[in-house]
C-alpha cells in the first residue's frame, strides 16, 4: 500500500479545514502537519514528495479532526509564538495573541533605555507572555507577575524559566494589585474585557476553549480596569507608566476611569496592526499631585 506524501496530506487537510469553516485552513494544515511530523513548518516544502509514516499520519488526522471541531491550533500543539518566542499554552490560560504584542511595543517605546534596571509588574500574568517578552528586551529588569489561577502561575513559571528569565521573575497569587506594594516603573495588564453577555457570541476557539476567568469583564467589560485603577496610583513610581490592552471601543471608557482615579492618560491608544486602538498608556504624574501652579491635573 502506497503511503500518502507530505504534500498530499497537507492539501487534503486544508480542504477538510476549509469545509469546516476554518479561515486560515492552509496555514493551520501546515502547522499541524509539522507538529505531527516533528518538523519545522518551513521544512515541509522540501519534503512535499516524502511519504508519511502510518503513525505520523494517524497523529495528523487526529490533530486535523480536533481543529475542524474548532479547537485552537495552539491547544493541539501545546505551543504558541509571541514576540518571536515560544510559549507553552494550556486550557488554563488565554492563548497569547498577536494584537497583544502592541502592549509590549508601547511599553518599550515609553521605556526606551534597554539597559535600565526597571521594576515591572504584570497584572494577570497568564502564560507569562507579556512579562517574558519585556524581560527578554530589558535584561536588567526584574518582574512580578500576579494571577488568581495557580495553574496559570505554574505555566508562567515554566515559560519564564525555559526562556532564561526565571531568576528575574517573581510570581504571586493575588487579586490584581491589592496585596502588592510599589513602586513599579512599568505596569502592564491584559485584563478580561469582554462584556459577559457577549462571550457566547465569540468564535468557539475563544468562547469554548479560552478560560472564562480570562474573558469575563463584567456587564460592560470594564470591571477589571476599575479594580486595577483602584491601586494603580500607589503602585506606580513617580515617573512610572502603565500600559493596558483594550477591547474594541473601550478606549473612551477606560480613559475616563483613569481620569476619575487621577491617573494621567498619555495621549491616544497605540493601534495594533489592524488599526484598532489596542494599548492605552497611563502615567502616574497626576496621582495625588498638582501641577506647578497648584491646579489639579486633567
**Predicted confidence (pLDDT) per residue in 101-153, tens digit:** 999 999 999 999 999 999 999 999 999 999 999 999 999 999 999 999 999 99
Can you give the pLDDT at residue 78?
A: 94
Can you give the pLDDT at residue 98?
A: 94
Contacts of 25 (CB under 8 A, 6+ apart): 14, 15, 17, 18
* Position 45 confidence tier, pLDDT thresholds 50, 70, 90: confident
pLDDT in tens, 218-256: 999 999 999 999 999 999 999 999 999 999 999 999 999
Q: In the predicted model, is pLDDT for residue 49 greater than 60?
A: yes
Q: In the predicted model, is pLDDT for residue 297 greater than 60?
A: no
Angle subtended by helix axes 54-68 and 6-19, to nearest 10: 20
The helix (run of H) or strand (run of E) holding residue 115 is none
Give the three cell numbers for residue 296.
489639579
Interval 267-291 mean pLDDT: 77
* Percentage above 90 pLDDT, the chain: 80
Beta bridge partners of 5: 51
Question: Mean pLDDT lowest for which of 64-73, 108-117, 162-171, 289-298?
Answer: 289-298
- Provide the CB-side half-sphere exposure for 46 (13 A, CA): 5
Interval 11-36 mean pLDDT: 94
Can you give the pLDDT at residue 296?
A: 37
Can you give the pLDDT at residue 1?
A: 58
Q: What value does the CA radius of gyration of the chain take, rounded to a whole number of Å? A: 21
Can you give the pLDDT at residue 289?
A: 33
The Cα-based distances of 153 to 94, 143, 156, 173, 182 in angstroms read 12, 13, 5, 7, 21
Can you give the pLDDT at residue 46?
A: 80
For residue 290, with 0-12 CB atoms within 10 Å meaning exposed, 13-18 middle and 19 or more buried, which class applies?
Answer: exposed
| Mean pLDDT of all residues belonging to the chain | 91
Can you give the pLDDT at residue 42?
A: 78
SS3 284: coil
Beta 270-271 vs 277-283: how paired, if at all?
antiparallel
Can you give the pLDDT at residue 257?
A: 96
pLDDT in tens, 157-210: 999 999 999 999 999 999 999 889 879 999 999 999 999 999 889 888 888 888
Amino acid at each position: 500500500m502506497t503511503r500518502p506524501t507530505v504534500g498530499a496530506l497537507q492539501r487534503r487537510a486544508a480542504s477538510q479545514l476549509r469545509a469546516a469553516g476554518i479561515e486560515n485552513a492552509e496555514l493551520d494544515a501546515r502547522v499541524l502537519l509539522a507538529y505531527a511530523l516533528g518538523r519545522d513548518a518551513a521544512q515541509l516544502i522540501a519534503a512535499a514528495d516524502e511519504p508519511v509514516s502510518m503513525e505520523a499520519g494517524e497523529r495528523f488526522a487526529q490533530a486535523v479532526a480536533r481543529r475542524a471541531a474548532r479547537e485552537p491550533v495552539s491547544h493541539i500543539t501545546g505551543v504558541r509564538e509571541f514576540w518571536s518566542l515560544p510559549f507553552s499554552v494550556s486550557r488554563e490560560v488565554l492563548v497569547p495573541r498577536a494584537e497583544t504584542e502592541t502592549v509590549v511595543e508601547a511599553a518599550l517605546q515609553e521605556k526606551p533605555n534597554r539597559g535600565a534596571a526597571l521594576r515591572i509588574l504584570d497584572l494577570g500574568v497568564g502564560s507569562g507572555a507579556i512579562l517574558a517578552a519585556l524581560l527578554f528586551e530589558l535584561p536588567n529588569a526584574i518582574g512580578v507577575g500576579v494571577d488568581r489561577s495557580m495553574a496559570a502561575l505554574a505555566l508562567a513559571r515554566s515559560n519564564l524559566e525555559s526562556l532564561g528569565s526565571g531568576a528575574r521573575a517573581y510570581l504571586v497569587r493575588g487579586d490584581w494589585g491589592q496585596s502588592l506594594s510599589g513602586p513599579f516603573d512599568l505596569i502592564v495588564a491584559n485584563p478580561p474585557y469582554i462584556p459577559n453577555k457577549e462571550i457566547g457570541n465569540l468564535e468557539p476557539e475563544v468562547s469554548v476553549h479560552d478560560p472564562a476567568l480570562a474573558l469575563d469583564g463584567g456587564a460592560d467589560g470594564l470591571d477589571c480596569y476599575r479594580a486595577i485603577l483602584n491601586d494603580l496610583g500607589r503602585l506606580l513610581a513617580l515617573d512610572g507608566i502603565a500600559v493596558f490592552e483594550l477591547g474594541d471601543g473601550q478606549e473612551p471608557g477606560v480613559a475616563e476611569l483613569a481620569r476619575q482615579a487621577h491617573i494621567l492618560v498619555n495621549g491616544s491608544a497605540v493601534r495594533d496592526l489592524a488599526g484598532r486602538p489596542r494599548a492605552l498608556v497611563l502615567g502616574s504624574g497626576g496621582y495625588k499631585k498638582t501641577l506647578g501652579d497648584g491646579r489639579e491635573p486633567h
